[in-house]
Amino acid sequence: VQLVESGGGLVQAGGSLRLSCAASGFSFNDYAIGWFRQAPGKKREGVSCISPGEDSTNYADSVKGRFTISSDNAKNTVYLQMDSLKPEDTAIYYCAAVHSIVVPNCVAPRPGYFQNWGQGTQVTVSS
């Protein structure tokens, strides 16, 4: 299993970024893919989750209405479109994968449930 994130960077508050997570080594439709983030001194937290095979998505309350998760099954890639970014969104963003049987329909996708992680991509939002 391999997950490779890209798309992070520096953006002003109110701006947008799109993160990508390219997946390989597993059956894309059998897995849930989650986006998580970790800011300095804080615990890793869930941001969003998608289960392509179940057509399910999930968002943390802090990003609902601003972030959109999607997948391109032909490319085995998951995207996180982040709009109306705030300074508090600053963190390293990770994508992670686990078989969808562990988090059916992406309900309550805790970091500890996910077995496979990418290297992370830095997102910095300036005020």
Per-residue tens of pLDDT for the chain, all 127 residues:
999 999 999 999 999 999 999 999 998 899 999 999 999 999 999 999 999 999 999 999 999 999 999 999 999 999 999 999 999 999 999 999 999 999 999 988 899 999 999 999 999 999 9
Q: In the numeric block, which tokens belong to residue 75?
A: 């490319």
pLDDT in tens, 37-53: 999 999 999 999 999 99
Handedness of CA 81, 84, 87, 89 (dihedral sign): negative
pLDDT tens for 106-115 read 988 899 999 9
How many residues are listed for the chain in this entry? 127
pLDDT of residue 108: 84
Give the other-Cβ count within 10 Å of 88's Cβ.
11
Give the model's pLDDT for residue 85. 98
12 exposure class (CB count in 10 Å sphere: 0-12, 13-18, 19+): exposed
d(CA 33, CA 50): 5
CA angle (89 as vertex; 95, 26 as ends), nearest 5:
5
CA–CA gap between residue 49 and residue 34 (Å, rounded)? 4
Q: What is the pLDDT of residue 28?
A: 86
